[in-house]
Amino acid sequence: MIDISGKEKTHQKLRGSVSYGCLAAGAFLLTAAPVETRAQETVAELDDTIVVSASRTPTAAKEVGSAVTVITAEELEQRQVRVISDVLRDVPGVAVNRSGPIGQPTQVRIRGAEGNQTLVIIDGIEMNNPASTSEYYFNNLLSTGIERIEVLRGPQSSLYGSDAIGGVINIITKEQEKGFTASARTEIGSFNTKSALASIGYGADKFALSGTIERFLTDGVSVADERNGNWEKDKYDNTTARIKAKFRPIDNLEFNAVGMLVDSDAYADSSVVVVGAADGGDRSSTEQKYGMVNGKLTLLDGAWDHMLRAAYTSDDTDFKDGASTTTYISDGTRIKYDYLTNFNFETPGFADAGHTLSFGAEREEEEMYTYSGFSGPNTVSVVNYGYSGEYRVSLWDSLFLSGSLRYDDNDELFDDQVTWRGTAAYLFHESGTRLHGSYGRAVKNPTLFDLYGSTPGFTGNPNLEPEEGYGWDAGVEQALFDDKLILDVTYFNNRIKNLITGSGNSAVNVAGTSKIDGIEFTASTEPVKNLRFDATYTYTDGKDSGGVELTRRAKHIASLVGNYSFDVFERPANINLSVQYNGEQKDVVYDSFFPLATRTVTLDDYTLVNLGASYDFAEGAQFFLRGENLLNEKYQEVYGYGAPGAAVYAGFKFKFGPY
């Protein structure tokens, strides 16, 4: 039987309600507010923090009006994160739901929007799977070679097109440094977990090449919650390989290429009518291939640049039953070509202004292939064209404005779309205060599965219209105590129309508007040298067009991360403690084979405590130790699906070079 837990939210979007969470657990954080870039330490350092995803060109963080969080490679190392979704739990406005242990379907929602309304990009490649829900599931994304993660919140279709109603998660992998380098990591731990990583690279003035491969295996725990009498362990293995190359024949001309291959196998459990998840022999095998090449030409002493890019994605998953018989195949591919040009100029005599004009054009073709014993083979495709422009201006080095507009020439399947976004930020230098805000319109096109999918319990509807999202936010950031404490509070308000939901055995656009609003708080402080704390709290209130609270969206989510770096015998050491709180949330138990079994349940709140420590016992050699869920919390993020208890992991890392 196919696990449709990931498709349930997109194709059915059943209405549920979310009860009030525990305010007491988040009250401490109400005095702290969010830092829009977690990598910053002072307002002055906003000049040095560059955000890539918030505009068509890299932009200083102080100039960004949209809410964006930056997670650095250093933070990933300190946290010892092995799957990217785990660190996203510390981002304000972000909710993570995993259907069991590592390797199972993992959804990320931004500001109450659906999982498939979050656009995921890695090195310029759109990762959302065109097949099924047009969503990117984070279950197979390891932290291998990640340099930085940017989480851009709010409607972003004017820059990125479809799928960006909630926001964008932009992931950038590491660049090869000059010289020859090699590194390795090995780790063992609870649940018979083993992983190994190796990387090698060489960089010079005009050329760089690097490659990384990682193997991750675990016996895991039962996907169906053990507390319900399920004891069969469900294994997961993942092999991820990446390659990255750069060539610069002359100073103003650069070529880049990246490629990634993910090969994974995940054992799962069955979805039993009325009962829910229960032990079974289901499994899935996934092969994901991504690639991108681009060329960039810079003219007029860096004032005018042009970039041509081609990207390819393929996401192929075979679902199998206990007898290893293939029951369902889902294969999505995307080929995208785009051109982008940016022109920068200044008008010192007028408001000491700096200007940036950008224009982009793209062609995108998506294809879905599915196969099942019920429907046989089914192949459909769609071609869309997009044209976008953006204007940014800075005035007196204090006021920063941007506006962007995009026109999507869609296939004949649905109407063409116009999306837009405006942002503003104002910096009071003397008081260390920064005001920021944004407002925009975004769309989510019907997926190919929505339009033409076919399963025993679902038949597509070719008459669907795109979902529409309107959202705005406004916030204030304040530095206190000589920049040792930075607070930020942001209010957000989203409205989503034409939501696509299940109706009978098909999908329809729901009349009316889903309303979501909330508040994001963050605080960052470094009270003494090398000791840092980051705290976040998010309140989200979301209701569908009928006034019923949205499912899998806890009203209260909070986190606290503390990190201390010190020396032991004149060698670097580090301790990192993280506490993550997720409040009560409603979930809908749905079975496509027996719709009458549908019911709403309340999932308990939970708190996760994780601890990581490391010691560099020699030059380029490190021992590390990590504990996860140290309180042995028993919890569910999706009804019926369990989570691992307390766990301990240890290993070594080695780096050689640069030579």
Q: For residue range 83-142, list pLDDT tens digits in order.
A: 999 999 999 999 999 999 999 999 999 999 999 999 999 999 999 999 878 899 899 999
The CATH number of whichever domain residue 522 belongs to comes to 2.40.170.20
Residue 251: what pLDDT? 94
Look at residue 87 and tell me if it is in a domain: yes
Look at residue 233 and tell me if it is in a domain: no
Residue 43: what pLDDT? 38
For residues 552-563, average pLDDT: 97
To which residue do tokens 């038949």 refer?
459
Whole domain around residue 513: which residue ranges?
A: 5-202+386-656
Residue 275: what pLDDT? 56
Q: What is the DSSP string of 486-536?
A: EEEEEEEEEEEES-EEEETTEEEEPSSEEEEEEEEEEEEEEEETTEEEEEE
Residue at 642: amino acid letter = G
Look at residue 512 and tell me if it is in a domain: yes
- C-alpha count within 13 angstroms, C-beta hemisphere, residue 645: 8
Q: Does 407 have pLDDT greater than 50?
A: yes
Q: Does 41 have pLDDT greater than 90?
A: no
For residues 393-412, average pLDDT: 95
Distances (CA, A) of 357 to 341, 391, 393, 395, 424: 8, 5, 9, 15, 16
Look at residue 586 and tell me if it is in a domain: yes
For residues 265-287, average pLDDT: 78
Look at residue 340 and tell me if it is in a domain: no
Q: Which residues pair with 340 in a beta bridge?
A: 307, 360
The closest alpha carbon to 71, from 174, 149, 147, belongs to 149
By mean pLDDT, which of 3-17, 212-226, 296-310, 644-658 is the weakest?
A: 3-17
Q: What is the pLDDT of residues 509-519, one digit of tens each?
A: 989 999 999 99
Q: Does 22 have pLDDT greater than 60?
A: no
Look at residue 267 and tell me if it is in a domain: no
To which residue do tokens 């991750």 refer?
216
For residues 223-241, average pLDDT: 91
Supply φ then ψ for residue 31, to 5 degrees.
-80, -10
Look at residue 66 and tell me if it is in a domain: yes
Q: What is the pLDDT of residues 177-197, one digit of tens each?
A: 999 999 999 999 999 999 999
Q: Rank 19-23, 228-232, 651-655 by mean pLDDT and report only the highest.
A: 651-655
Give the residue, 447 or 179, on which the prediction is more confident: 179
Residue 282: what pLDDT? 87
Question: Which ranges constitute the DSSP H helices of 104-236?
Answer: 157-160
Label residue 593 by pLDDT band (50, 70, 90). low
Contacts of 467 (CB under 8 A, 6+ apart): 117, 165, 443, 444, 445, 446, 496, 497, 498, 499, 500, 509
The number of domains in the chain is 1
Whole-angstrom distance, CA of residue 502 vs CA of residue 11: 5
Q: Does 505 have pLDDT greater than 70?
A: yes
Look at residue 89 and tell me if it is in a domain: yes
Whole-angstrom distance, CA of residue 241 vs CA of residue 621: 23
Q: What is the pLDDT of residues 305-318, one digit of tens each?
A: 999 999 999 999 99
For residues 49-62, average pLDDT: 91
